Amino acid sequence: MNRTQKTAWLNVSGFLMGIILCSYPLIMILAFRSLPNRIVIAVLLLVFAAQFGWWIFLLRKKQSSAEPEADERDKVIMRNAVLISFVSTWLLLAAATLLPMLLLGPAGSLPVFLLPLINMGVFSLAVLVYFAAVLVQYHRGGEHG
């Protein structure tokens, strides 16, 4: 596994752990109308920190000293992933524009403080699509590239 794959796995797993870390308090507060358990939050933070430390260790470790940082195949994969992420950004922005209109109706309105949150969600998903596209392309390459 080269550095690009390791970085993609780090970002995908970190994103998913961040979703878990953020959704537990939101579910507890909004759905159950109670404060989240501090022990569960502490355990989630420790798991997140351990995961981060493990991935930093793996990123620093090379398979061999002759391993290049990136070759032509890595550059092509990253360029294709950027293209896929760019297209997904436009599709996600279109969905973020149309979905509130369809749900709230043409006369509905959204509070202004939600707009930056919607945009951050769209761009976070675009980054996740980028790293997922990198991993899918490496997986499709198989044994013989």
Q: What is the pLDDT of residue 17?
A: 87
pLDDT at 143: 53
Answer yes or no: pTM beyond 0.85.
Answer: no
Question: What are the tokens at 107?
Answer: 């006369």
Measured distance CA(142)–CA(62) in Å, rounded:
21
pLDDT at 39: 94
Rounded to 5°, angle at Cα 126 from 23 and 78: 130
Q: How many Å apart are CA 50 and CA 68, to the nearest integer?
A: 28
- Residue 128: CB partners within 8 Å, gap ≥ 6? 11, 12, 15
Question: Does the pLDDT at position 121 exceed 70?
Answer: yes
CA distance 78 to 124: 17
Question: How much is the average pLDDT of 66-90?
Answer: 89
- For 9-29, the pLDDT digits (tens) are 988 988 988 888 888 988 998
3-state secondary structure of 91: helix
